[in-house]
């Protein structure tokens, strides 16, 4: 019996010692490893040391820019009436011409002064019978068109109101690729919509007009959709850097890229419209070609970026300053010129009479010239008959002899053909211009007025030669 008790006691004592040792080891071990697999995520301590705000998006605050902008962006409603086809109505009766239908389009605009001046796109207000402006607080006004410029797709309108919130202009030349921007507008009639993105590229040419427009857009990846046209593109300080104008899409909706007219171009256009009633376009006085690797190899030069001077015009500022054929323009003032859209965008912020510093490469050496910019005729101002004289030639009313010979009572005779394009195509001194842009002309002033009305466009000129044949020629009417 004593032996059994001793064995039991020994067993209990061994168990207590083993249990104590296990607890001791467990309490002093910091890491327990297991071979058992687990699907639970690993938990790590968060790092709350936030780097400088200039390096990460999370630290960029868009709320101030949105608050400063959203009340200054308006909804634009364009009510227009479609034009009829008089020929169809003549043959098939009233209403067959498809005219008289009321259509409504919408877009956006940006208030730029407290007394009601609003900037938008020309295509937003084009053809409007009535423009209705709705503010962010739902107040509505009827707007009048102050002026527009199809070549930049910028328009200026005004409402009768005071003490309005407005957006200030920033210098769009200072915008950098990768910089945060906000697009503010009214897509799909969803008022006061703000989207964010970065500047993807500058001086972008997307050829949406076939060469009829100045295309030097700021490209962004901020979401822009139908209805955003004419709205604001602003920086994180709420300053206007562009006017949202176009998207690149095969569906009609945003797919990743949008394009804005830079604020420097838009600002210059509206200042011209307010001061002169039209836009004063500056010309350097060159024929240009965009440089590329193939052309550089042909010219035996090392430069593959810039704008090649393919020729200089006789009356332009470039030839007077000393620029020559085959010079390569690489900088205008402090703006680098890598391609033609850089050059066009820069000139679109200038006026005839402005002086600019032009840096060129000549024989692979840099040279700088000061060029005084002119208008399309090489002058600072447009004289009374400059359009007709320079685009056609010296004109006079047709003689009674010619009127009798050709049985006409209208037309102007070319005393001297000045248009290189017309002369190249066989138009001679003494030929008679019958009409311009489908309009008969009787007086020299008629020709001048018609050409001025079609600035920035191409028109058809009907010419009667001395053998009695009528020919048609297309000429471009510069701004």
Residues annotated as catalytic are 123, 153, 229
Q: How far apart are CA 281 and CA 405, in angstroms?
A: 42
Token duo for residue 358: 């032009």
The two tokens of residue 227 are 């209805």
Chain center to CA of 334 = 21
Give the integer Cα–Cα distance in Å for 479 and 350.
13
Instruction: Give the span between the Cα atoms of 419 and 427, in whole angstroms.
Output: 9
Distance of CA 248 to the CA centre of its chain: 13
Please name every residue paired with 393 in a beta bridge, in sequence order, or none if there are none: 417
DSSP β-bridge partners for residue 431: none
Residue 270 CB neighbour total at 10 angstroms: 22
For residue 210, give every residue at least 6 positions away whose Cβ sits within 8 Å of its Cβ, in sequence order, or none. Answer: none
Please give the Cα distance from 397 to 442 (Å, whole number): 7
Q: Which helix (H) or strand (E) holds 117?
A: strand 117-121
* Secondary structure, 3-state, 268-294: HHHHHHHHCCCCCCCECCEEEEECCHH
- For 129-176, give the secondary structure using H, E and C: CEEEEECCCCCEEEEEEEEEECCCCEEEEECCCCCCCCCCECCHHHCC
Distances (CA, A) of 298 to 291, 293, 302, 308, 326: 11, 9, 11, 12, 12
């Amino acid at each position: 019996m004593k032996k059994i008790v001793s064995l039991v006691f020994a067993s209990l004592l061994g168990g207590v010692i083993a249990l104590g040792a296990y607890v001791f080891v467990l309490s002093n071990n910091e890491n327990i490893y297991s071979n058992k697999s687990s699907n639970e995520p690993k938990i790590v301590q968060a790092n709350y040391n936030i780097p400088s705000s200039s390096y990460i998006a999370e630290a960029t605050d868009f709320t101030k820019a949105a608050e400063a902008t959203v009340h200054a962006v308006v909804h634009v409603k364009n009510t227009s009436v479609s034009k009829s086809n008089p020929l169809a109505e003549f043959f098939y009766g009233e209403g067959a011409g498809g005219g008289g239908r009321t259509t409504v389009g919408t877009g956006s605009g940006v208030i730029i002064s407290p007394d009601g001046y609003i900037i938008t796109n020309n295509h937003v207000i084009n053809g409007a019978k009535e423009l209705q402006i709705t503010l962010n607080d739902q107040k509505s006004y009827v707007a009048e068109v102050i002026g527009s410029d199809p070549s930049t797709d910028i328009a200026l309108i005004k409402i009768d109101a005071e003490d309005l919130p407005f957006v200030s202009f920033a210098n769009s030349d200072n915008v950098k690729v990768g910089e945060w921007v906000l697009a503010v507008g009214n897509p799909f009639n969803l008022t006061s919509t703000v989207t964010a993105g970065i500047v993807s590229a500058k001086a972008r040419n997307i050829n949406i007009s076939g060469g009829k427009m100045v295309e030097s857009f700021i490209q962004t990846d901020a979401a822009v959709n139908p209805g955003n046209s004419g709205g604001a593109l602003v920086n994180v300080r709420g300053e206007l850097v562009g006017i949202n104008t176009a998207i690149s899409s095969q569906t009609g909706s945003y797919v990743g890229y949008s394009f804005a007219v830079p604020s420097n171009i838009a600002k210059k256009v509206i200042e011209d419209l307010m001061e002169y009633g039209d836009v004063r376009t500056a010309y350097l006085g060159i024929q240009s070609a965009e440089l590329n690797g193939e052309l550089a190899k042909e010219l035996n030069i090392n430069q593959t970026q810039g704008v090649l001077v393919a020729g200089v015009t006789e009356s332009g500022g470039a030839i007077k300053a000393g620029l020559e054929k085959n010079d390569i323009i690489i900088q205008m003032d402090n703006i680098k010129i890598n391609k033609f859209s850089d050059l066009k965008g820069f000139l679109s912020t200038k006026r005839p009479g402005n002086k600019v510093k032009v840096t060129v490469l000549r024989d692979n050496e840099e040279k700088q010239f000061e060029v005084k910019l002119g208008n399309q005729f090489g002058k600072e101002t447009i004289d009374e008959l400059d359009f007709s004289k320079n685009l056609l030639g010296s004109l006079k009313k047709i003689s009674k002899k010619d009127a009798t010979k050709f049985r006409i009572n209208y037309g102007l005779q070319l005393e001297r053909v000045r248009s290189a394009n017309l002369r190249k195509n066989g138009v001679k001194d003494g030929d008679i211009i019958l009409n311009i842009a489908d309009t008969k002309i009787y007086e020299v002033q008629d020709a001048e007025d018609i050409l001025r009305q079609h600035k920035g466009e191409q028109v058809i000129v009907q010419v009667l030669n001395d053998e009695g044949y009528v020919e048609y020629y297309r000429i471009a009417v510069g701004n």
